Amino acid sequence: MKTEKLRILLIGYGKMGKAIETVAKSNGHSISAIISDKQMDLSHICKAYQPNIAFEFTSPESAVYNLESLIDAGIPIVCGSTGWLHNWGSISEKVKNANGTLFYASNFSLGMNLMFYLTQVAGKFMSELPEYEVEVEEIHHLEKKDVPSGTAITLAEKLIKAIKRKEKWVLNQPAAAENEINISALREPEVPGTHLVSFSSSVDTIEITHTAHSRMGFATGAIKAGEWVLGKKGVFSMEDMLHDAFKQ
């Protein structure tokens, strides 16, 4: 089936935004307009440039305002901004009420989404093995503003769902309580993103690790998400897209 070409309103032009631009153009899509990371009324931009989809990759401070503005303008959205999910309920409800389209992922890497699946499967086994303690570690570049990363939170939430004795995650507390999962967050120069889930006992340690070598993997997944979600209505995730792909 022929993929409709994307006319992208690109909101956020940092390293990730530039990677999305590169991948989009290499796949035959076009960039209608580029906007830096700031809050602004996007309705006149949408009318002037006529995009058929928006990619929102900004900061926790700008994301919610931008999402609300795009929903009001009736533009389908692919969002990778993190640190704003305390507003998830109101945003997803607004999308549904407007019969709009939102595709959100804390991480668009296809490899990372495989790690999400493996982590959840491993967690179900570890639920019956209380001798194993679990921890999540994430390392990112110095410019990343939200701590911990949205991806690390997603990993922790999948473990909490799978492991009966775990109820919540905590940040940078190695001596976490029995019902807690510690997320260790580090910031180092020029690190696109590394995530590690470890299950440790007195006799051995099992680790699942994803190391991004560049942002192109994230950008490729984001463009695939845009191609997949165009023409659909509702709130979607990488899990929805991958399940749909595996059914083929």
- Summarised one tens digit per residue, pLDDT across range 95-106 is 999 999 999 998
> Closest Cα to residue 105, out of 167, 57, 52?
57
> Closest Cα to residue 214, out of 235, 193, 198, 231?
193
The Cα–Cα gap between 77 and 58 comes to 13
Contact predicate 210/195, CB 8 Å: yes
Catalytic residues: 140, 144
Superfamily holding 7-108+215-247: NAD(P)-binding Rossmann-like Domain (3.40.50.720)
The Cα–Cα gap between 148 and 137 comes to 9
Is 1 exposed, middle or buried, given 0-12, 13-18 or 19+ CB atoms closer than 10 A? exposed
- Give the global pTM: 0.80
Contact predicate 130/92, CB 8 Å: no
What residue spans define the domains of the chain? 7-108+215-247, 110-211
DSSP character at residue 209: E
Token digits of residue 100:
């709009």
Burial 220-245 (b: 16+ CB within 10 A, else e): bbbbbbbbbbbeeeebbbbebbbeee
The Cα–Cα gap between 76 and 223 comes to 13
Residue 157: predicted pLDDT: 95
The Cα–Cα gap between 245 and 247 comes to 5
DSSP character at residue 82: -
CA 89 distance to own-chain centroid:
16
Residues lower than pLDDT 50 in the chain? none
Top CATH class of 110-211 equals: alpha beta
Residue 1: predicted pLDDT: 52
> Closest Cα to residue 108, out of 80, 68, 71?
80
Contact predicate 194/209, CB 8 Å: yes
The Cα–Cα gap between 176 and 136 comes to 12
